[in-house]
Structure 1
Amino acid sequence: MPISMYRLTVPLFQRGLTTLGTYLDKAESHAAEKGIASSELVSSRLAPDMLPFSGQFQRATDSAKLAIARLTATDAPKFEDNETTIGDLRERLAKTNSYLATIAPSALDGTETNEVTIAPGGNKFTFRGDEYLATFALPNFYFHISMAHAILRNQGVAVGKMDYLGRFS
């Protein structure tokens, strides 16, 4: 029996968002322990031409909500991308999780054959739904979670592989 598009999207996005929540907890603890403003971690980046932690966080949450919206041809909630604190990022995380919680498994039935068109950087790409998910949406989502991880690690926050992988059920 084939795996459903729902099982390949919502639960995976929720799991990744849980990882981002763990990162916020660890960043907050690190900042308190070191006596630094947590906003320093939120604005940290790996390289000058890369997005800061907040930007990686924003793109990961956008990837989750936009993947669902694109597959189902519906509108995703819009966020302003103006988060500057851990509290702001927690709020964004909660809003994304609330949106994902509204998605019924049946909403994704048959979306593997839907046409999805995206235009990152002005380059237009059209995919079948399953190809979009496998070659763009999921890799993009996990890339931004990985970059958030790397930024925190680079700043001395004690995050490791098991924080990235999360809990197993």
Structure 2
Amino acid sequence: MTLSLHEISVGMFVPFLRNLSGLLDKAAAHAEARKIDPAILLGMRLYPNMYDLAQQVGEAVRHAVVGSALLAGREPITFAAAKPDLAEQQRRIAAAVDFVESLPRAEIDAAGDKDVAFRLKSGTELPFTGRSLLLTFTVPQFFFHVTTAYDILRHAGVDLVKKDFLGRR
């Protein structure tokens, strides 16, 4: 059985972005029930030198959007630099899902040997082929940030289980 690049990218990003949205729904309910400012949850981190929850969500979205856009040869959507609240995080996830789903499957599938460069926030460009971008960088980065967001919320006491991370299959 052969997996296409579209299945490995869009096919994985979309359900896990939706799961991430579900995690944020549970975070909002947790904050409301305990009368906690949701901004406190968004500012939480697992360790002082790690990104906070807001940045973890932002990086998951960024890797899904930029990685998919690079494969499809399209410009990625961008978001305002302002620090988003929970509602804005949800809008950004929804926009990311809409964007990656709109990209042409054939162009993504044909990008395996295509030369692409992922630009880090520092401006440094990392060269890849489409296939190596997905398998060695974008997908691992995406899952790192989604997992860390889940872990931050669990650490904060949000009632989550593995099924919330994996989604209902």
Q: TM-score, normalised by structure 2?
A: 0.92
Secondary structure of 1:113's aligned partner: coil
Secondary structure of 1:36's aligned partner: coil
2:160 aligned with 1:159: yes
Q: Distance in 2 between matches of 1:119 and 1:63?
A: 11
Deviation, structure 1 residue 119: 4.8
Deviation, structure 1 residue 83: 3.5
Greater than 3 Å deviation, 4+ residue runs? 119-125
2:38 aligned with 1:38: yes
Flag structure 1 segments of 5+ consecutive residues without an equivalent: none
Q: Distance in 2 between matches of 1:92 and 1:4?
A: 26
Count of residues in Structure 1 that have an aligned counterpart in Structure 2? 168
**Alpha-carbon contact 1:83-1:89 (below 8 Å) kept:** no
Q: Distance in 2 between matches of 1:160 and 1:28?
A: 16
**Alpha-carbon contact 2:61-2:93 (below 8 Å) kept:** yes
1:8 matched residue in structure 2: 8
Deviation, structure 1 residue 124: 4.7
User: Matched residues, percent identical?
Assistant: 29
Cα-Cα RMSD: 1.6
2:93 matched residue in structure 1: 93
Secondary structure of 1:6's aligned partner: helix
Secondary structure of 2:2's aligned partner: coil
Deviations 1:53-95 (A, max 9, x none): 1100000000000001112222101112423311111111121
Q: TM-score, normalised by structure 1?
A: 0.92
2:126 matched residue in structure 1: 125
Deviations 1:105-127 (A, max 9, x none): 11213101111223545665322
Q: Assess, with a 3 A threshold, how the Cα gap between structure 1 residues 53 and 102 changes in structure 2: closer, same or farther.
A: same
2:146 aligned with 1:145: yes
Amino acid at match of 2:134: L
Q: Assess, with a 3 A threshold, how the Cα gap between structure 1 residues 124 and 88 changes in structure 2: closer, same or farther.
A: closer
Secondary structure of 1:149's aligned partner: helix
**Alpha-carbon contact 2:59-2:145 (below 8 Å) kept:** yes
Q: Assess, with a 3 A threshold, how the Cα gap between structure 1 residues 35 and 157 changes in structure 2: closer, same or farther.
A: same
Deviation, structure 1 residue 167: 1.5
Q: Distance in 1 between matches of 2:100 and 2:72?
A: 13
**Alpha-carbon contact 1:6-1:109 (below 8 Å) kept:** yes
1:134 matched residue in structure 2: 135
Deviation, structure 1 residue 11: 1.7
Secondary structure of 1:158's aligned partner: coil
Deviations 1:89-148 (A, max 9, x none): 111112111212211311213101111223545665322211110010100000000110
Flag structure 2 segments of 5+ consecutive residues without an equivalent: none
